[in-house]
């Protein structure tokens, strides 16, 4: 596809980047509202954690099926439908009288809406930008605002919650969605939709049930260990069944929900691991620090949010330099450097918090984590998307976003489970959670080090 004029490209990217921003914002802004929501809706930290995790989980389990629907329904139609569902969910959450209604609005409606609108964001960006430099700029803008949304979520959420109410934060989300709909009126889908494209419903159900059971099992760890084991085994069994099913479907010459050929690209596989670990660490750290400050240190929503300014600044500085960095350094170098800086930040959060009760103890660590994540978010996405031709962009985009959102889900679920566990409380649970997140960061670093210097592309 021919390159578009700079002004036209920027107009296209703006609504896409804002869409990624608000979806990432939704995944982290509730972290600073835990105390306010718990008091208002008469629930617990575990209850709010469940709502947050379910939102991230529904995004993850529906991302691949919804990416397949972009071919059938059209990318712009899925984008607009997702925005509409998201907006309805945000308004429903704003007036929710109970945790159940909050889960319906935030976790279900916003989760499904996000799963529909995010795949078109990355598919359109890939189709509109052909060369590595321009695509790095596009992904830099989109992933950068996504990282800013996740990092600034606690700050913006804290300001709104303290100044008005936690409910107003959902009204803010609805207002941003309305703005995106207006900005995307002239957005043109570069490929025609194909209503005859088959949809693998059985594969969608198997994958969704498998991922749901795994995450639900993690949430039971420490409190219901029997359920933890049962759901973990069930989840793994369903996922194995899903793989065997799509493989047999492919051998029969039928279109499967996900092509097994996507996993034959070693470069893409390693980059997907780095994506998963990046979002796991980002959302895990956000949840751990937020809960620790509110429940152990007694901070308000605004006090907790202000602490995250350092991470927001870090993400902003590094992610918007993505285009220039891509010209000087290889994608592999940037991802490796990002993990090293992020791990250093986790180390500072562990060391300084134990040696100081002052709030500034969190600043150096969060700043480094923001810088590290901002540096590597864009290269990881770029490596994955650029490893496949246009006809596979729908599938790989769904897989990529699903893997990233699973990382967010695991980060919140694992870190949250440790924090609310009866075996560890206060500073001890904080330290254990941070160490666990550090281990996952090391896994991401190992995967990054194994990336080849020159990415391979599947024909």
Instruction: Specify the CATH number for the domain of residue 310.
Output: 1.20.1250.20
In a domain, 344, yes or no: yes
Q: Establish if 47 belongs to a structural domain.
A: yes
Q: Please tell me whether residues 55 and 168 are part of one structural domain.
A: yes
185 and 206, same domain (yes or no): no
Q: What is the 3-state secondary structure (H, E, C) of 291-337?
A: HHHHHCCCCCHHHHHHHCHHHHHHHHHHHCCHHHHHHHCCHHHHHHH
The predicted pLDDT at position 82 comes to 93
Residues 193 and 236 in one domain: no
pLDDT averaged per 10 residues, the chain (length 459): 52 85 83 84 82 82 83 87 94 93 93 89 78 69 77 82 90 94 83 80 89 80 76 91 90 83 84 90 85 77 78 78 76 91 92 69 88 85 77 70 76 72 62 89 94 62
Q: 189 with 211, same domain?
A: no
Query: Dihedral of the CA atoms 237, 243, 245, 251 (nearest 10)?
Result: -150
What pLDDT score was predicted for residue 310?
83
Quick check: is 189 in a domain?
Answer: yes
Domain C-terminal end among 214, 239, 256: 256
Indicate whether 261 and 325 sit together in one domain: yes
**In this structure, is residue 454 part of a structural domain?**
no
Q: Which residues contact 20 (CB under 8 A, 6 or more apart)?
A: 118, 121, 142, 143, 145, 146, 149
Burial class (CB in 10 A: 0-12, 13-18, 19+), 197: middle
DSSP 112: H
Q: Quick one: 233 and 262 in the same domain? A: no
Same domain for 359 and 225: no
**459 in a structural domain:** no
What's the pLDDT at 406?
Answer: 76
Residue 188 CB: number of other CB atoms within 10 A? 11
Residues 188 and 230 in one domain: no
Domain boundary among 256, 273, 304: 256
458 belongs to a structural domain: no
Confirm whether 1 is domain-assigned: no
Q: 447 and 273 in contact (C-beta within 8 Å)?
A: yes
Convert the pLDDT of each residue in 7-46 to its tens digit: 466 677 889 889 989 988 887 788 778 888 888 998 887 7
Q: Is residue 456 part of a domain?
A: no
Co-location of 191 and 226 in the same domain = no
Which domain does 208 fall in, by range? 200-256
Statement to judge: residues 248 and 116 lie in one domain: no
Same domain, 387 and 358: yes
Q: How far apart are CA 235 and CA 244, in angstroms?
A: 14
Looking at the 3D structure of the chain, how many domains does it have?
2
**Residue 174 and residue 315 share a domain:** yes
């Amino acid at each position: 596809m021919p390159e578009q004029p700079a002004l036209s490209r920027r107009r296209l990217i703006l609504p896409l980047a804002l869409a990624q921003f608000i979806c990432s914002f939704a995944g982290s802004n509730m972290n600073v509202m835990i105390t306010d929501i718990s008091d208002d809706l008469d629930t617990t930290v575990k209850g709010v954690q469940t709502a947050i995790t379910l939102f991230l989980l529904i995004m993850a389990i529906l991302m691949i099926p919804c990416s397949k629907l972009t071919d059938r329904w059209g990318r712009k139609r899925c984008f607009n439908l997702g925005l509409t569902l998201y907006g309805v969910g945000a308004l429903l959450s704003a007036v929710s009288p109970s945790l159940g209604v909050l889960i319906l609005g935030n976790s279900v409606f916003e989760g499904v809406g996000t799963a529909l609108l995010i795949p078109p964001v990355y598919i359109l960006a890939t189709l509109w930008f052909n060369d590595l430099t321009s695509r790095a700029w596009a992904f830099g803008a989109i992933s950068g605002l996504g990282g800013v949304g996740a990092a600034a979520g606690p700050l913006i959420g804290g300001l709104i919650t303290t100044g008005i109410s936690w409910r107003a934060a959902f009204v803010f989300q609805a207002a941003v969605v309305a703005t995106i709909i207006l900005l995307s009126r002239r957005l043109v889908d570069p490929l025609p939709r194909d209503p005859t494209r088959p949809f693998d419903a059985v594969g969608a159900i198997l994958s969704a049930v498998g991922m749901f059971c795994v995450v639900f099992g993690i949430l039971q760890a420490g409190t219901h260990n029997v359920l933890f084991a049962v759901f973990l085994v069930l989840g793994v069994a369903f996922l194995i069944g899903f793989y065997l099913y799509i493989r047999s479907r492919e051998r029969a010459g039928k279109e499967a929900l996900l092509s097994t050929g996507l996993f034959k690209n070693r470069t893409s596989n390693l980059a997907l691991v780095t994506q998963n670990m990046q979002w796991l660490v980002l959302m895990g750290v956000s949840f751990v620090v937020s809960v620790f400050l509110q429940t152990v240190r007694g901070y308000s929503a605004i006090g907790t949010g202000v602490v995250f300014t350092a991470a927001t600044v870090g993400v902003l500085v590094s992610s918007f330099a993505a285009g220039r960095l891509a010209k000087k350094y290889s994608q592999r170098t940037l991802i490796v450097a990002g993990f090293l800086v992020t791990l250093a930040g986790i180390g500072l959060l562990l060391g300084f918090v134990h040696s100081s009760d002052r709030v500034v103890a969190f600043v150096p660590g969060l700043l480094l984590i923001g810088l590290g994540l901002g540096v590597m978010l864009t290269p990881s996405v770029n490596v994955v998307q650029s490893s496949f031709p246009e006809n596979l962009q729908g599938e790989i985009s769904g897989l990529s976003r699903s893997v990233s959102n699973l990382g967010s889900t695991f980060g919140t679920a694992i870190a949250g489970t440790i924090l609310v566990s009866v075996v560890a409380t206060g500073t001890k649970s904080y330290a254990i959670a941070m160490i666990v997140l550090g281990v996952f960061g090391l896994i991401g670093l190992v995967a990054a080090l194994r990336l080849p210097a020159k990415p391979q592309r599947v024909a």
